[in-house]
Amino acid sequence: MLRLILVFLTLALPAQANNAVGQVSIAGPRTLEICSGTLVGPDTVLTAAHCVADPRDGYAKPVDRMVFLAGWDGHSHPGASRIKTLQVHPKAFANGKLDLQYDIALITLSRPMDIDVIPVGSGPVSGPYTVSGYARSAPHTLKAAAGCKGRVHAGLWRIGCPVEKGQSGGPVLYGEGAAQRIVAVVVATQGDQSLAVPVDNWLRQALAR
């Protein structure tokens, strides 16, 4: 059974990624739930659907308690914002429960951030990729695994790097420097590998709007 927990060897990432990748957190009286997400527009964050909606039924988690914290390093951050709206992939819960093949969502922030974003793009399934995000075991450090190979597996991409809790919603990156693009989103772990949802037409069209 797949566990929805979500890398990693600690590596230095480009400044672009350090600022654009952040935490999606839900704080409440009895919980502090953490996922990862990436700025793909000044006020738009790409993450996993199960980070913002209950994987059992698709109902949205409490937006009023959600916060996106960009580029947190344990001491400071370049931007933080509450969440304005959520947009979950229309097929993520089409059958009443989460379908991992469409486990992606877009968050609209309450205010735009003056941070360089990482655009959505495409890359070969084989990679190599860099997967980054915030592990719940070390929530104040952005971690990454580089040189990860990929292949198609049951409609998802199986990425040859392990993941930890908190990395759900984290980006799968292809390319280097200014050419770096998000090509998939980490959604689960299976053994010592991660599973990711590749960028699709719904996401491209939603961003174009």
Digit-coded pLDDT (tens) for 89-139: 999 998 888 999 999 999 999 999 999 999 999 999 999 999 999 888 888
Inter-residue contact 13 to 144 (CB < 8 Å):
yes
| Weakly modelled stretches of the chain, pLDDT under 70 | 1-18, 28-31
pLDDT at 87: 96
Q: What is the pLDDT of residue 17?
A: 55
101 and 174 co-located in one domain:
no
| pLDDT value for 10 | 37
Task: Note the pLDDT of residue 23.
Answer: 92
Q: What is the CB neighbour count within 10 angstroms for residue 16?
A: 17
Instruction: Single out the residue in 57, 82, 109 at which a domain terminates.
Output: 109
Range of the domain at 51: 16-109
Element at 87 (helix H, strand E): strand 79-88
Give the pLDDT of residue 30: 54
Which pLDDT score is estimated for 74? Answer: 79
Question: Is residue 50 in some structural domain?
Answer: yes
Residue 56 located in a structural domain: yes
**Residues in CB range of 205: below 8 A, 6 or more apart:** none
The model carries a pTM of 0.90
Q: Are residues 101 and 137 in the same domain?
A: no
Q: What CATH number should be reported for the domain holding residue 53?
A: 2.40.10.10
Residue 5 is predicted with a pLDDT of 36
User: Among all chains, which residue has been given the structure tokens 């996401």?
Assistant: 203
In a domain, 35, yes or no: yes
